[in-house]
Amino acid sequence: MAASILTAEQLASYQRDGYVIIPGVFYPEETALLARVAKADLELQQGARAHDDSTGRTTKLNIRYVLEDDLYSAVIACERMVGGMEQILGGPVCHFHHKMMLKEPLVGGAWEWHQDYGYWYEYEGFLFPCLSSCMVAVDRANRDNGCLQVLRGSHHLGRLTHGRVGDQTGSDPERTAAAAEHLERVYVEIEPGDGVFFHCNLLHRSDANESPHARWTLIGCYYAQRNPAVKAVTYNGRPATVPVPDQQVAAIGRREAAAMAAS
């Protein structure tokens, strides 16, 4: 197993609240390289799919299901990320997918209340909610630019029914409203390089970006190797994700930044 990065207190916080914020998961140089490479990556931006919220405003998302020899994959598969997920999911983990969320200034839309397991139970058929994600801030995230919002402890509700909301999948409005009356809503304001580990049944959303500042985030999604998927059989029997040495994040970032500068 990879090295553990969560303290006992942080792991207990995750289990109690459904999420935990880990400041400075990535160093300033690594974070600056990630932002520099991503913001110059036309393929990433052109390949991002638009998702409309209930008002018709759009957020873009680029999803990749394969780890490659690139900076995004190095961030997602590095020792500290895989190690944290192994702690959270209690054993070997597999990379499910990773995605860059591009919430642009003034036009980036909202994400409706949902649980990730609402998608992953329905479309991939993962049998158990033994999945988790880590959101890494590329830009500063705050209320003004539509940061992540969570209902603390909502993962204890279990999976809620989901349906279509705009171009998204949203959780049952009645149940969600009831949960919001009883659970604290937290605005997850974080700095570049911070990470937020969160449970697949945690209710979360975000507002539209009304600010002049972008909010880009890189999100890695993982599942416990022992968790079968009854619809997407390609996820069954996968070998555990082999961690990339932590020092490779900066090394690959420097390589890609230099290649972009030379082109």
Tokens at 95, concatenated: 């990379």
Does residue 150 form part of some domain? yes
Residue 2's pLDDT is: 65
- Residue 100 resides in a domain: yes
Say how many domains are in the chain: 1
* Residue 262, pLDDT score: 86
**130, 226 Cβ separation under 8 angstroms:** yes
| pLDDT for residue 56 | 67
User: In which residue ranges of the chain is pLDDT below 70?
Assistant: 1-3, 52-56, 108, 165-168
In this predicted structure, what is the pLDDT of residue 60? Answer: 87
DSSP letters along 147-170, please? -EEEETTGGGG-PPPEEEETTEEE
Could you read off the pLDDT of 157-190 as tens digits, one per residue? 999 988 876 666 778 889 999 999 999 999 999 9
Q: What is the pLDDT of residue 55?
A: 67
Residue 134 near residue 197, CB atoms below 8 Å: yes
d(C-alpha 82, C-alpha 243), whole Å: 6
- Amino acid identity, position 57: R
What is the residue range of 166's domain? 20-262
Instruction: Output the pLDDT for position 50.
Output: 78
Residue 14 falls within a domain, yes or no?
A: no
DSSP reduced 3-state for 183: coil
Cβ pair 85, 134 in contact under 8 A = yes
pLDDT of residue 166: 63
Beta-carbon contacts of 179 under 8 Å, excluding residues fewer than 6 positions away, are 151, 154, 157, 203
Whole-angstrom distance, CA of residue 140 vs CA of residue 103: 12
Instruction: Collect all residues with Cβ–Cβ distance below 8 Å to 44 and sequence separation of at least 6.
Output: 38, 62, 100
Q: How far apart are CA 191 and CA 171, in angstroms?
A: 28
Assess if residue 106 is contained within a domain: yes
Q: Which of 105, 148, 137, 106 is nearest to 18 (CA)?
A: 148
Asked, for residue 6, whether it belongs to a domain, the answer is no
d(CA 12, CA 249): 28
Give residue 218's region: left, alpha or beta (phi > 0; psi -120 to 50). Answer: beta
Give the CATH number for residue 62. Answer: 2.60.120.620
The whole-angstrom separation of Cα 149 and Cα 142 is 10
For residue 4, is it within any domain? no
154: which 2 tokens? 């909502």
**15 domain-assigned:** no
Other Cβ atoms within 10 Å of 184 Cβ, number: 11
Distance CA 107, CA 62 (A): 17
Q: Give the predicted TM-score (pTM) of the model.
A: 0.94
Assign residue 94 a region (left: φ > 0; alpha: ψ between -120 and 50; beta: otherwise): beta
Q: Is residue 183 part of a domain?
A: yes
